[in-house]
Structure 1
């Protein structure tokens, strides 16, 4: 049995999702894999931080979510994030603080500090990976530690692992995907007759869309994920500004009806190949693999030289779903270290 001590940076839905998985499945995972996961620290922007070298109880952490973490019995409270990263006893830093697509900060600095101090990192934070992946990956290699980024693209659906491990030999030449669950839900509702404002209000009421939905509906979230896919799987060096982006805000009931009458369906599709990258609404024939993907589900089609097109469909958002992506990266690290 090998124990991995985790320090969580950020304790929103994704961090809580991982802790919930550890609470519900930790014992079974330890028995199945030989990896025991122990949370020793949590750092947040609004609710302080807590560090306990012997480990914190998952149930107590979940009960304290959204409140001041100083209420938990522990060795130390309110250490700053860098101190938790560099002075604590965590083996793995789980970086899931809020995303910043302009600079990637402060998450990029946290990841750099962790890697430089010899800690492994797993993250669901798109900002640092979209903006600084090459530099962060090089730092991880130099420090002989792991940087896991599975959770940055399709939540718990293993798009990056499928592409990097199982399809590597097939030669990926292009990708096309539905990478944003919010807009896919809205388009599904608009196809059923809802107006754009009504579909957006529904998505916000269900927690799928933020109060400011611009990142989703204008296509920037999907563009960010497309950059990550291109740079991690296809050897590209794309920047966000290299992606041509158009969102769904201009789609009207008339446009939805015209597509339906032609046996087609509107989808916000992100595509990349060796020459171009774009995110834009497209009318897809109902027979297209991506056309049947509805609600908040995500999907991606890898075009390969050896296998042709391979399509992966699965949940693309949600705290627990993305928590499983973080877990997948942790278990991959465990396998690489133990040969399991």
Structure 2
């Protein structure tokens, strides 16, 4: 099968995936027998372009990096919005990488539903749809016999769902807990070195870890969306954002940091979910003082980590990048390879 790819959104992550596709085209063909062409791209800021014969991805990347619009691409059909690109092109794989809104799931939720209803496969790094409607989307994908995967929504390219599905298969997962937001982990690391919260936040913003409005990170909203996805995927919990207590790091002071250090502990923003004795699920996000012998306590800077507490292996911790252009693009590559294994 030849995969005909349409990008919905073409920001940092979409471009990162496009770069990987270009660079690894021969490897994908030789090792995985993957053949593809990118036929459409639709971005609310950059415009849209569709050519059923395939787009020159290198030319498009060069244009976008130079600040030019997709409308300037020679040839092809211009002006299709996201939904028209999904419905009216002959694509069979939708890469949904628009901006994330975990509170409403939109516009990505509508994009994913539309694609699945059209019988098209979807890979995505957007947290919104799985936060709001993971069970509905999985059921719809099954009914339409199509693939919907979102490996990158928790730790970017560091494996989470594939780790659970393959390497930890056969284990009962009792608890999952971890550092799932690199911005707050970076800030806490700098504060432990003596930097004030405001200075550490400014440094994170200068480095591109934190947005101009850092609320989603420092108030725990990003971590909240991720633990809801993990809870609902691992434990079938059917939790909503409002069901989970959330606290960020804005109330942690340098005195708190020093006090924890004196106790042989370290503050981390921890997202966790566990099965209670009555088989209900308890999830939460908030700062915790961890003993230095906890593997999560040794994870510093913008690095992320997750610990899975299992019945057969005990605690298994995976550490790696949780964000980044290529790192998140790599998660889409893994989803693409898995799609090809099943439907190729």
Please state which band the TM-score falls in when normalised by the shorter chain: over 0.9
Cα distance in 2 for residues equivalent to 1:74 and 1:258:
64
Aligned counterparts of 2:203 and 2:57: Cα–Cα separation in 1:
32
The answer (yes or no) to whether the contact 1:22–1:58 under 8 Å persists in 2 is no
SS in 1 for 2:307: strand
**2:329 aligned with 1:327:** no
User: Equivalences for 1:1-340 in 2 at 5 Å?
Assistant: 2-65=1-64, 66-274=67-275, 275-338=281-344
In the TM superposition, structure 1's runs of 4+ consecutive aligned residues that sit over 4 Å from their partners are none
CA–CA distance in structure 2, aligned partners of residues 309 and 235 of structure 1: 21
1:165 to partner: Cα distance: 2.6
Q: Do 1:216 and 1:222's aligned partners in 2 also have CA atoms closer than 8 Å?
A: yes
Contact 1:22 1:37 in 2 (8 A): no
1:24 Cα deviation (Å)? 1.4
SS in 1 for 2:35: strand
The number of residues matched between the two structures is 337
SS in 2 for 1:186: helix
SS at match of 2:185: helix
Shift of 1:141: 0.7
1:109: how far off? 0.7
Unaligned runs of 5+ in 1: none
1:263 positional shift: 1.4
Supply the distance in 2 between the matched residues of 1:240 and 1:333 (Cα, whole angstroms). 29
| Other structure's SS at 2:155 match | coil
Write the deviation string for residues 183-213 of structure 1: whole angstroms up to 9, x where unpaired.
1111111111111001110111111111111
Secondary structure at the residue paired with 1:216?
A: helix
In structure 2, what is the Cα distance between the partners aligned to 1:166 and 1:227? 22
User: What's the CA shift string for 1:107-138, capped at 9, x where partnerless?
Assistant: 11111110011100001000111011111111
Cα shift readout 1:199-233 (whole Å, capped 9, x = no counterpart): 11011111111111101000010010011111112
Give the SS at the match of 1:61. Answer: helix
Aligned Cα RMSD in Å?
1.1
Indicate the SS of the match to 2:286. strand
1:265-316 CA-to-partner distances (Å, cap 9, x unmatched) read 1110111012311111111111111011111111000011121111111110
Partner secondary structure for residue 101 of structure 2? coil
Structure 2 CA distance for aligned equivalents of residues 202 and 53 of structure 1: 45
TM-score, with length taken from structure 1: 0.97
Q: Distance in 1 between matches of 2:273 and 2:262?
A: 29
State the 1:74 CA deviation.
3.3
Per-residue deviation at 1:77?
0.8
1:93 partner SS = strand
What secondary structure does 1:273 align onto? strand
CA distance in 2, matches of 1:301, 1:17: 28
Tell me how far 1:102 sits from its aligned partner.
1.9
Which deviates further from its counterpart, 329-338 or 264-273? 329-338
Q: CA, structure 1 residues 296+33, in 2 after alignment: closer, same or farther (shift >3 Å)?
A: same
Q: State the shift of 1:321 in Å.
A: 0.5
Question: Does the CA contact (< 8 Å) of 1:156 and 1:324 recur in 2?
Answer: yes
